[in-house]
Amino acid sequence: MPSPFDLSGKVALITGGSRGLGREMAVGFAAAGADVAVVSRKLDACRAAAAEVEALGARALALACHLGRWEEIEPMVDAVYDRLGRIDILVNNAGMSPLYRSLEAVTEEAFDKVVGLNFKGPFRLTALVGGRMHAEVGGSVINISSIAAMEASPGALPYAGAKAALNALTLGFAAAYSPNVRVNSIIAGAFGTDIADHWADPRDRDHPGWTREGWRIGQPGEIVGAALYLASDAASYTNGAMLRVDGGPIRVRRAAQRSEPASSSPR
């Protein structure tokens, strides 16, 4: 019998797909049979990730797009449909959370950038792609949210608010485009990607398996199973869900103990 996680014949668009969790999902989806459009701000990085997808026998498309700028989003979507023919899976993964010294030091420009990339961009992209999926053969939208939205830290408060808003989009779009388009969130915890270079505790960066209080940092590839589930027919009855992939409850949040705020992106 065919695997329920088989993505053969599907096309996935992954934002923030050139590095970190996005790259892991791009490679994981290609291994499952999907063609992948890799989108991020830096075209060279997208091309490198697309080459990894093509090495697995899948078609790939590398596109540069700033997801916080609506004028760039629609041409990017049109390019994916023109080159790959369809979009069956949309992963809203691009995100950022710049460091700041204090809440009072957060500038309006920095705040707007965080909201633009983590909330405004996914709204517009999901409206364009999800609406077209709904009018055609359906599909799956996966929003990569954050545990910060549920356990907000003073060190990443604009990011936490934007990700909470993204969770609200998940529920709203799930209702708008059901039953043939499923919209779900992965609530991601801390993963040992390249963003860990900004973490205050170097052990977090150097040893993703390091534990404290019965908890560990996730390996980047550990996001793929959840993403494959939500992208595939295995999740045919899963819609509007918030799936936590964070290693489980944490008794003590280390972010609250740090002298410097943590950076959560760009992924």
For 146-159, write each residue's pLDDT tens digit.
999 998 788 899 99
Q: Which residues of 86-110 are buried (b: 16+ CB within 10 A; e: fewer)?
A: ebbbbbbbbbbbbebeeeeeeeeeb
- The span from the CA of 163 to the CA of 94, in Å, is 11
List the domain boundaries for the chain. Answer: 11-257
Give pLDDT, residue 263: 45
Q: Express each pLDDT in 172-216 by its tens digit.
A: 999 999 999 999 999 998 887 765 555 445 444 444 444 545 567
C-alpha–C-alpha distance, residues 108 and 5, integer Å = 43
d(CA 163, CA 146): 6
pLDDT range class, residue 3, cuts 50, 70, 90 = confident
Spatial CB neighbours of 218, under 8 Å, sequence gap ≥ 6: 188, 189, 190, 191, 192, 208, 245, 246, 247
What is the number of other CB atoms lying within 10 angstroms of the CB of residue 252?
10
Active site residues per annotation: 159
Q: Which residue has the higher pLDDT, 248 or 266?
A: 248
Average pLDDT of 77-97?
96
Does residue 11 contact residue 85 with C-beta atoms inside 8 Å? Answer: yes
Please compute the mean of the pLDDT values over residues 159-167 and round it to a whole number.
Answer: 96
Rounded Cα gap, residues 260 and 14, in angstroms:
31
pLDDT tens string 20-38: 999 999 999 999 999 999 9
What is the fold of 11-257? Rossmann fold (3.40.50)
The predicted pLDDT at position 210 comes to 46
pLDDT of residue 78: 98
**C-alpha to C-alpha distance for 118 and 91, rounded to whole angstroms:** 12
Closest CA to 14 of 119, 89, 114, 83: 89
